[in-house]
Chains A and B, each alone.
Chain A
Amino acid sequence: MYSVNEIKKGLEEKEFSTVEIVREYLEKIKKKDDKIKSFITLREEEALKEAEETDKKIASGKKLKILEGIPIGLKDNIATKGLKTTCSSKILEDFIPPYDAGAAIKIKEKGGIILGKLNMDEFAMGSSTENSAFFDTKNPWDLERVPGGSSGGSAAAVSAGFAPITYGSDTGGSVRIPASFCGVVGLKPTYGLVSRYGLIALASSLDQIGPFGKSVEDCIYGLKGVQGFDEKDSTSKDVKMPDYFKEIKKGIKGLKVGVPEEFFAHGIDKEVKEKVEYNIKILEKLGAHVEKFSLPITATGLSAYYIVSSAEASSNLGRYDGVRYGVRTDEYKSFKELIVKSRTEGFGEEVKRRIMLGTYALSSGYYDAYYKRAMIFRKKVEKLFDEAFEKYDVVVSPTLPVLPFKLGEKRSNPMEMYLSDTFTVNINLAGIPAVSVPAGFSKEGLPIGIQFIGDKFREDILFRFAYALEQEIKLNLNPWKEGR
């Protein structure tokens, strides 16, 4: 379909109207999402009405805001006022929030037109979107494969051309993993750069909303649409960010790249490894200084991540008790029975598994052995990254150790599923930003992603690398055989 710049230009030069654009996207979704299954809820009528308003604005010659008229998709854990927000869970099947998430407010204020809500792993727990209580989303590059997760719907929708920008949330890789699998650009911003208010929490100290785009520029538009301080989120930060569009033109000549050896070690798919190493060579060719170093955090980081995130999740998900909203069991004789039965019926397997894991990790007698140790390791990860960024402008790795796997392949083996997150979780533990950029394809034609990791609030550097690489390798990212 179109890039954000193409839409902006078309609207400004009155090549087409906003209504036409929005209708075109909606029609494409209706025609093709049967195959992909990325949307849970479509917001047709309101989107077209908002498009009409935008057209009136354009006709009256008013200055257009940054996302004006741009079709947007949101992961279904970002609260939208008056629009069903399910977290892909049965327990919130009919939940309609009476408020907008901080990010949704910013998107609306900046003129974005929300087309609908996108499928995900239930409560963002998963790496394949197979944990959705409603249906599986397919990888647009191979309909028998998973799109990655947990923001699989958001990544697949951008890849399939259902919206130029979508948003997901990334707690341990949930934006970068599906971005890599679907061959799109996906950013996990610095913790605190985007408001978490109204993002239905998985793990509050790790969650961050991030944008998807087919190009680095679209991804930048996505970030600019939501970044910035929100007084309703006490963990959001007020930081002045540079103009990314200016920054990306600077290139990467002279910048220093650290390559952590452990991120290329055993267990990694050979094709993934080779493709990423090939791309690193390109970075060198573009003038960056590349150096290997040791960052021994992958294995322990994964354990620490699953303890911390499950602990927080076990607490965050306590509120789904059937008392005030969401699914309530039909028959019960006591408070206890009401709560136990509602949760048993409302939650899926993976959610229950993590609630138990997290509850255990926080229990008296086990707290020190699990949660506390994990938090100590978390501090160490932060410190090691701090040290790395004293030496390097960016750290580079594969986004995942594996290629997109088949639907059902890992569904029954949670441990193997968790291993897909090995290269992404430490970034969330450290609170730093990282972006997954398409690096090429496997022999079978499956997308492979490269991950650029940066220091806190240095999204500008990440975009410089992502853009430099993108412009150099110029991949065809359209998964449809019949053209866009």
Chain B
Amino acid sequence: MGAYETVIGLEIHVELGTKSKIFCGCSTKFGSKANENTCPVCIGLPGVMPVLNEKVVELAVKAGQAINCKINKINKTDRKNYFYPDLPKAYQISQFDMPVCSDGYLELGDKFQGKKVGITRIHIEEDAGKLIHLEDEDVTLIDYNRAGVPLVEIVTEPDIRSAEEAYNFLKKLRNILVYSEISDCKMEEGSLRCDANISIRKVGSDVLNTKVEIKNMNSFKEVHKALLKEEKRQLELYRYGEEHKIVQETRRWDAGKGRTITMRTKEDAHDYRYFPEPDLPPMILEKKYIDDIKSSIPELPMKKMERFVRDYGLLQKDAEVIIDEKSTADYFEDLVLKTKDPKESSNWLITEVLRSLKEYDEIPVTSKQLSELIKEIKSGSISRNAGKKVFDKMCTSDKMPEKVIIELGLKQISSEGELEKIVGEILDNNIEAVEDFKSGKGKAFGFLMGQSMKATKGKANPGVVKKLLEEKLKK
């Protein structure tokens, strides 16, 4: 089957992080009471008119610049006409032939040799409401809170060759959008939604065969799974010479059943009758406006990773893990600032801190707490193992490590005088092991170390114990 390759293009809808909707002053807050965030404009009452929220254009321009797009100077909107109960005006204000941004690219990670995936366009548009079908009754309710929430639609070129690449692309894109504060990109709240177009062709061919659109994938992992599944379905049809059975259609991913199901075929495709929106005059984007937005883009993930490797001496694989979430990267920088120890900070981050994120939604320990903890360990006040216990405790408490160490009785014994007594007792009680050591069995040293630590319930400073044991055994 090596003779075939997969061709994938993505369409990503991203809700922009504005406070108010795209054409009215209503709030964009998620999780409000049904229809609480609505007004005559966003529910399309007769005679009302849209007024463009300029922040939307700003964020779209920013997104374009973050993924290397050309910014189009004339920003014109168009109407996309279709009937559906969640679309109050029976048209969506969108952009047809003059999107805000076009011709960009995004670079995939090292794993893909920095492959560039082309961005066809980014355009702004308004979101629709939400239908709620009641289970027991034959009733559909409509919540228009989402109607008029600003979106950008990002469309890629058919440059993606595998589910893996698609997954990597989405993660990279999300990072960039979150870093630039364009969107919070929460798939579970619907603020990032992804549809995929997929087809198969012979390697070396540059034709685009009949593509299938897949919808309703609720996480990046689902996108990955759905693409693998659809790729397999299409490949099998090719294998049996039945590729004519691949028809242009939209298939819905059913996560529960793990398969795609036909939603609608080309025959029911809409004619959207696009035409220029007469209620909104075109907005001309001045060069200075575009440049100002460009200079407002913060450091993006790739650049940050490079800087962490260069300035902090991190391993690239560690840096990649840290920059994966903007909040984690910010935490890390904060921690380094406090500890002045990038290596140690990175160790804690990629082990304990990331582990804690499996249990908590955000990092449960402040950078101040963790930096103090690192200091305690470095000063020998507690052992590294005891440090982990302190960390766990701090996950549910805002006490500083100094206090937690006392509460848990974890203070390390580093006083030579105190430890000498204990080590002496261990040696006296384990004459056999001492003999073994002296006769060349190095393993016995470990045993004696262990016994000493055990006697202090792990609180002994292992360095000091080691030093004392070596001294005494030499005698």
Whether the Cβ atoms of A312 and B278 lie closer than 8 Å is yes
Whether the Cβ atoms of B83 and A321 lie closer than 8 Å is yes
Q: What's the nearest-Cβ distance from chain A to residue B334, in Å?
A: 43
Whether the Cβ atoms of A319 and B271 lie closer than 8 Å is no
Q: Does A132 contact B (CB under 8 A)?
A: no
Interface members, chain A 310-341 (any B CB < 8 Å): 311-312, 314-315, 318-321, 323-325, 335-336, 338-339
- A101–B46 Cα distance when bound, in Å, is 10
Q: Contacting B50 at CB < 8 Å: which of A95, A198, A234?
A: A234
Q: Does B473 contact A (CB under 8 A)?
A: no
Chain A residues whose CB sits within 8 angstroms of the CB of B43 once the complex forms? 324
- A232–B41 Cα distance when bound, in Å, is 10
Whether the Cβ atoms of B281 and A323 lie closer than 8 Å is no
Q: Known contacts being A319-B90, A323-B85, A324-B88, is A364 close to B47, with CB within 8 Å?
A: no
Counting contact residues on chain A (CB < 8 A from B), the size range is: 35 or more
Q: What's the nearest-Cβ distance from chain A to residue B282, in Å?
A: 11
Whether the Cβ atoms of B273 and A363 lie closer than 8 Å is yes
Q: Contacting B79 at CB < 8 Å: which of A85, A98, A232, A315?
A: A315
Whether the Cβ atoms of A315 and B45 lie closer than 8 Å is no
Whether the Cβ atoms of A97 and B51 lie closer than 8 Å is no
Q: Known contacts being A234-B51, A235-B279, A324-B44, is A315 close to B271, with CB within 8 Å?
A: no
Q: Known contacts being A204-B278, A319-B90, A363-B273, is A101 close to B83, with CB within 8 Å?
A: no
> 1/0 per residue B261-295: CB within 8 Å of A?
00000000001011100111100000000000000
> 1/0 per residue A88-117: CB within 8 Å of B?
000010010111010000000000000000
Q: Does B89 contact A (CB under 8 A)?
A: yes
Q: Known contacts being A204-B279, A234-B279, A235-B279, is A325 close to B45, with CB within 8 Å?
A: yes
Whether the Cβ atoms of B279 and A97 lie closer than 8 Å is no
- A199–B79 Cα distance when bound, in Å, is 19
Whether the Cβ atoms of A315 and B47 lie closer than 8 Å is no
**Secondary structure call for the A interface:** loop
Q: Does A461 contact B (CB under 8 A)?
A: no
> 1/0 per residue A170-210: CB within 8 Å of B?
00000000000000000000000000111111011100000
Q: Does B422 contact A (CB under 8 A)?
A: no
> B45, B90, B91, B278: which has the most chain A beta carbons within 10 Å?
B278
- A106–B38 Cα distance when bound, in Å, is 25
> 1/0 per residue B54-92: CB within 8 Å of A?
000000000000000000000000010101110011110
Q: Does B187 contact A (CB under 8 A)?
A: no
Chain B residues whose CB sits within 8 angstroms of the CB of A319 once the complex forms? 44, 46, 88-90
Q: Does B408 contact A (CB under 8 A)?
A: no
- A226–B73 Cα distance when bound, in Å, is 34
Interface members, chain A 74-89 (any B CB < 8 Å): 77-79, 85, 87
16 A/B residue pairs, CB under 8 Å, sorted by A: A85-B46, A97-B40, A97-B45, A198-B47, A201-B47, A232-B49, A233-B49, A312-B275, A321-B85, A323-B85, A324-B44, A335-B83, A335-B84, A359-B273, A363-B271, A363-B273
Q: Other CB < 8 Å A-B pairs besides A204-B279, A324-B43, A359-B273, 20 of them? A: A85-B46, A87-B46, A92-B46, A97-B46, A99-B45, A197-B48, A197-B49, A198-B47, A199-B47, A200-B47, A201-B46, A312-B275, A315-B91, A319-B46, A319-B88, A319-B90, A362-B81, A362-B274, A364-B273, A367-B275
Nearest 5 CB-CB pairings of A with B: A318-B90, A205-B278, A362-B273, A204-B278, A200-B47
